[in-house]
Structure 1
């Protein structure tokens, strides 16, 4: 499985939660040394001077620079003798299963927004969402946080995504590759667990902890992705598509397809096939 596909799998199962946020000038006692947070932090520097240390790297961030201070990494920060920082900031978790997103995907510790108004707008959106009194306020916060994470990753990562070397243990890498090549066949948890050299129950827990999705859910997802592709790029009957993706029971395929997409296979083909049209 390529890095790009694996990274997309992580993003699909990403859960974000914001614990605090703000926009302010830091206090005169803004200083802490050698602590390790159990959350991630974003700092978008708007004005002023200061000092950060993230792991072994030291920085004197400039206005327009957006810093990531990851969960589980030793950090320090301090004001300096110049004007104190004014910054947008938030503390948040970003997890796939029980793994931190930034333990899985390699990103630099900061991006230069070049004073992009979009970056500021996204932070303002987060703060405004938190202030919303509506019942959907928590959803607005989560949505705004996902957009912040998306912006940072899109501007921090090249077109070829890099994953940390320890991201995908070799046995699980073999299992993912096996599912990719063999999802058309009858795959059982016992078979997959044997390939990972793990007990089936433990294998399920490890797989979900790593990818945020169970093995069976992943197999079904892969089959439905192929079904959607075949529906819009071929004229194959549903029975043959079912055979090609490893689901011979057409009633079952139709049911899970509609549960996943909101469309029956026929309606999906009519709606998304560029050579056909359908009334809304």
Structure 2
């Protein structure tokens, strides 16, 4: 299945912003199941503090999400976001049978679906992936094994990823929600000038905020601090240069804004698990001599 990342449907800035959100995503599953609803399945105008996925397998009923009303059909997968007024009801005829889960998905203090614009439903016709992923989630959700919580999180992340990938190829597409103009200027400035000695004061001035308050606002919006974001950007660029060029480490340090080679080496290894030279050998196979072995982590 194709994804939106790297396609014409998302520009570079949107891709970078979306990836930043997803890299800092924390999920927690509060409930999950597969069952047929009762005839009294009904609740009106309530606002949950968690997100919900409903994958309709058979039956009929009614949903309202915000101001939008739906009569979901088998094969349709619905997202009911946290903090949005909702209603649902059994109508008549065959009751719904559905896979479902309640979950939180946060970047810092924000809900993922406040930060990304996604459709409220997607059609899963001829796609067995969602059912398999729900089954995986339910299997681990009932498991009392020591590693069960990790496996539940892994399954939930796969479900979210599948939903986002399918969302990206719908007419509505997948887009980051609007970021305030000052914060957007900050992100654009970092993308252009990460190799410079950027300061919190400089970035805070762009955002028209006091430095300490700016740090809190940035972390609340993006799930990471400004300095962490800048350092990650520098190290990602260093990875690219190591893998695609023959530049000396000192030249790479100058290009990415970390001219202290010793500090760059330590930070790079902490970030990747490889020294810069080992990373270059591992990910630039054309530079390896015949019969040479790639270094281990």
TM category, shorter: over 0.9
Instruction: Identify which of 180, 183, 191 aligns with 1:169.
Output: 180
Instruction: Identify which of 208, 218, 231 aligns with 1:207.
Output: 218
In 2, the alpha carbon distance for the partners of 1:144 and 1:64 equals 20
Match of 2:207 in 1: 196
Residue 116 of structure 1: CA displacement? Answer: 2.2
Match of 1:243 in 2: 254
The reply on whether 1:47 has 2:41 as its aligned counterpart is no
In the alignment of these two chains, the number of paired residues is: 278
CA displacement, residues 93-129 of structure 1 (integer Å, 9 cap, x when unaligned) = 1111111111111111101100522110000000011
1:212-223 matched pairs, under 5 angstroms: 212-223=223-234
In 1, the alpha carbon distance for the partners of 2:202 and 2:15 equals 26
Match of 2:101 in 1: 90
Match of 1:146 in 2: 157
Q: Is the 8 A contact 1:42 1:89 kept in 2?
A: yes
In 1, the alpha carbon distance for the partners of 2:99 and 2:240 equals 42
Q: TM-score, normalised by structure 2?
A: 0.91
Instruction: Identify which of 137, 145, 158 aligns with 1:126.
Output: 137
In 2, the alpha carbon distance for the partners of 1:80 and 1:3 equals 40
SS of the aligned residue for 1:38 comes to coil
Match of 2:6 in 1: none
Q: Which runs of 5+ in 1 are unaligned?
A: none
Match of 1:61 in 2: 72
Q: Is the 8 A contact 2:164 2:174 kept in 1?
A: no
- What RMSD, in angstroms, separates the aligned Cα atoms of the two structures? 1.3
In 2, the alpha carbon distance for the partners of 1:264 and 1:164 equals 37
CA displacement, residues 248-267 of structure 1 (integer Å, 9 cap, x when unaligned) = 11111000100000000000
Q: Is the 8 A contact 1:33 1:77 kept in 2?
A: yes
In 1, the alpha carbon distance for the partners of 2:148 and 2:254 equals 45
CA displacement, residues 57-109 of structure 1 (integer Å, 9 cap, x when unaligned) = 11111111000001111110000111111100000111111111111111111
Match of 1:80 in 2: 91
SS of the aligned residue for 2:175 comes to coil
In 2, the alpha carbon distance for the partners of 1:52 and 1:234 equals 55
In 2, the alpha carbon distance for the partners of 1:192 and 1:234 equals 31
In 2, the alpha carbon distance for the partners of 1:184 and 1:243 equals 7
Match of 1:227 in 2: 238
Q: Which is further off, 188-197 or 222-231?
A: 188-197
In 2, the alpha carbon distance for the partners of 1:237 and 1:276 equals 14
Residue 164 of structure 1: CA displacement? Answer: 2.3
Residue 33 of structure 1: CA displacement? Answer: 0.4
Match of 2:147 in 1: 136
Moved over 6 A (4+): none
Q: TM-score, normalised by structure 1?
A: 0.96
